[in-house]
């Protein structure tokens, strides 16, 4: 400390002592805090011995003796996920049990893979790019079941992937289990059973890609329409739901069967963000699962799984057969009322954009979306015997719809026509107003700045025309049968 005055040396000495004292107090405080934390913790902290658990050698401790150990504090146990090998074995074991429940030959060999949730989303995106389920939204929009969206939204694969535990892929006949989800829940097991039911169907009936959406060989029995596609899916999904319910022992509980149907629907059906909360669309998504399960349960009650198996050789071709299984058992092909070519009266710029069969289910849903009484809407759609639906468009985006529906009886045609007459004024905004029929034409007419409509019932056939204006509708009506 050469070069410092005595006063400066005194100040430096006092500062050094103060630093030592401060660090000493800090060390004591840290040690005291750690000891207090150790005393509060139910588990010993690593590197910090407590006096009760580590007595000083050579010193007798009345709390701890060689004969008595401190009572260990139990720690909560956490379920450990199975390894991929264990999971694959478990899947094959469930598949063997399920084959006995469903009374189908077991699938001896099928690969089990473990993609991540992100990989599942990418797989769904690729599959939906191929089958384009969103195109069905165009027809649903025309029927007023969902808003008319342009462009059509893509399925929300991220939301759907988050609800998937397992998935059957016909290409390669493989089962996918989503990795990284942790231990399986009871609902995950039931979701796996539904997945494996599809594997059993494919193995027994050689369905291939017909699981989603229905294609050959099932569609060889039916002319492929929107209605028949829904009916075929109801057979496949209803079978899988009932199989899952029998595996779980809840097939006699309708509420539990419906819950299993919703569980499968949420995993398998595409979702669209703009359509969230639209009740008609949710009813439509649910149809193959809930109504399909009731249809298959009726077949099962009348002849066991053998009766269900025969349905794969002669599947339901209409939603009417699904909604009324007795009509499937005494089936007859649906009628197809004729609709002529409209180009001669509309003009050469008009083209046929869509031709289809709507069916009883969608017809009832169309009515229910605009009437105040769902039960009345279902009754009005009951008795459906066939229909032909056509949509015509021109380059300006104008549309003409001609829809002709046949009914089993005259009074059923009258009931539907009355119900549809209530729908027409509500279908557009501003609402259509009833007007006097143009000279020489029979039937009911409506018009407003939103467009024009025509309704006519003759015998067991009801004819409906929607057009952009009354002049267009007047040109179409005279050439219809």
Half-sphere exposure of 478 (CA within 13 A, CB side): 11
Tokens 């949509």 sit on residue:
391
Alpha helices per DSSP H over 249-338: 254-268, 279-301, 304-310, 319-323, 325-329
Confidence class for position 337, pLDDT limits 50, 70, 90:
very high
Q: What is the pLDDT of residue 13?
A: 53
| Residue pLDDT, tens place only, 350-369 | 999 999 999 999 999 999 99
Confidence class for position 479, pLDDT limits 50, 70, 90:
very high
Give every strand in the sheet of 174-177, ordered side by side: 112-113, 174-177, 166-169
Confidence class for position 133, pLDDT limits 50, 70, 90:
very high
Q: What is the pLDDT of residue 115?
A: 96
| Residue pLDDT, tens place only, 73-128 | 444 444 545 678 888 899 999 999 999 999 999 998 899 999 999 999 999 999 99
What is the percent of the chain with per-residue pLDDT over 90, rounded to a whole number? 74
Average pLDDT for 426-435: 96
Lowest mean pLDDT among 59-63, 179-183, 324-328, 349-353: 59-63
Q: What is the pLDDT of residue 213?
A: 47
Residue 59 has pLDDT above 80, yes or no: no
Alpha helices per DSSP H over 73-180: 84-102, 117-131, 136-142, 157-161
Q: What is 343-479's CATH number?
A: 3.40.1000.70
Confidence class for position 69, pLDDT limits 50, 70, 90:
very low
What are the sequence ranges of the domains in the chain?
84-209+218-329, 343-479
Per-chain mean pLDDT for the chain:
85
Task: Tell me the Ramachandran region of residue 138: left when phi exceeds 0, alpha when psi lies from -120 to 50, beta otherwise.
Answer: alpha
Confidence class for position 206, pLDDT limits 50, 70, 90:
confident
Tokens 């909560």 sit on residue:
76
């Amino acid at each position: 400390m050469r070069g410092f005055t005595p006063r400066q040396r005194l100040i430096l000495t006092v500062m050094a002592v103060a630093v030592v004292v401060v660090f000493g107090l800090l060390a004591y405080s840290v040690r005291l805090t750690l000891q207090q934390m150790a005393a509060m913790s139910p588990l010993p902290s690593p590197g910090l011995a407590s006096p009760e658990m580590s007595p000083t050698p050579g010193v007798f401790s009345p709390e701890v003796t060689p004969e008595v150990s401190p009572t260990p504090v139990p720690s909560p146990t956490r379920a450990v996920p199975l390894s991929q090998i264990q999971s694959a074995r478990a899947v094959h074991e469930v598949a063997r049990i399920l084959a006995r429940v469903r009374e189908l030959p077991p699938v001896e060999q099928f690969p089990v893979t473990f993609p991540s949730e992100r990989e599942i989303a990418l797989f769904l995106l690729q599959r939906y790019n191929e089958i384009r389920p969103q195109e069905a939204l165009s027809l649903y929009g025309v029927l007023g079941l969902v808003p008319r969206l342009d462009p059509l939204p893509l399925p929300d694969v991220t939301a759907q992937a988050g609800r998937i535990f397992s998935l059957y892929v016909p290409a390669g006949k493989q089962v996918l289990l989503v990795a990284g989800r942790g231990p399986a829940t009871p609902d995950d097991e039931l979701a796996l059973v539904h997945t494996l039911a599809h594997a059993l169907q494919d193995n027994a009936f050689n369905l291939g890609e017909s699981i989603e959406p229905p294609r050959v060989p099932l569609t060889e029995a039916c002319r492929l329409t929107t209605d028949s596609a829904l009916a075929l899916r109801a057979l496949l999904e209803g079978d899988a739901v009932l199989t899952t319910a029998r595996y779980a022992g809840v097939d006699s509980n309708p509420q539990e069967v419906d819950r299993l149907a919703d569980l499968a629907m949420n995993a398998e059906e595409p979702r669209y963000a703009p359509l969230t909360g639209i009740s008609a669309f949710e009813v439509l998504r649910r149809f193959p699962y809930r109504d399909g399960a009731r249809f298959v349960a009726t077949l099962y009650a009348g002849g066991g799984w053998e009766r269900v198996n025969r349905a794969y050789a002669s599947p339901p071709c209409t939603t009417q057969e699904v909604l009324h299984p007795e009509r499937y058992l005494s089936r007859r092909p649906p009628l197809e009322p004729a609709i002529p070519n409209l180009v001669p009266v509309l003009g050469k710029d008009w083209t046929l954009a869509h031709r289809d069969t709507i069916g009883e289910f969608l017809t009832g849903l169309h009515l229910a979306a605009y009437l105040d009484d769902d039960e009345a809407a279902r009754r009005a759609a009951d008795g459906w015997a066939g229909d032909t639906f056509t949509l015509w468009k021109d380059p300006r985006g104008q549309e003409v719809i001609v829809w002709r529906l046949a009914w089993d009886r005259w009074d059923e045609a009258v009931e539907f026509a009355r119900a549809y007459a209530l729908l027409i004024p509500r279908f557009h905004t501003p609402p259509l107003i009833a007007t006097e029929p143009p000279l020489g034409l029979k039937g009911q007419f409506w018009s407003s700045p939103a467009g024009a409509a025509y309704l006519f019932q003759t015998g067991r056939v009801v004819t409906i025309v929607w057009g952009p204006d009354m002049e267009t509708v007047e040109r179409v009506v005279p050439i219809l049968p």
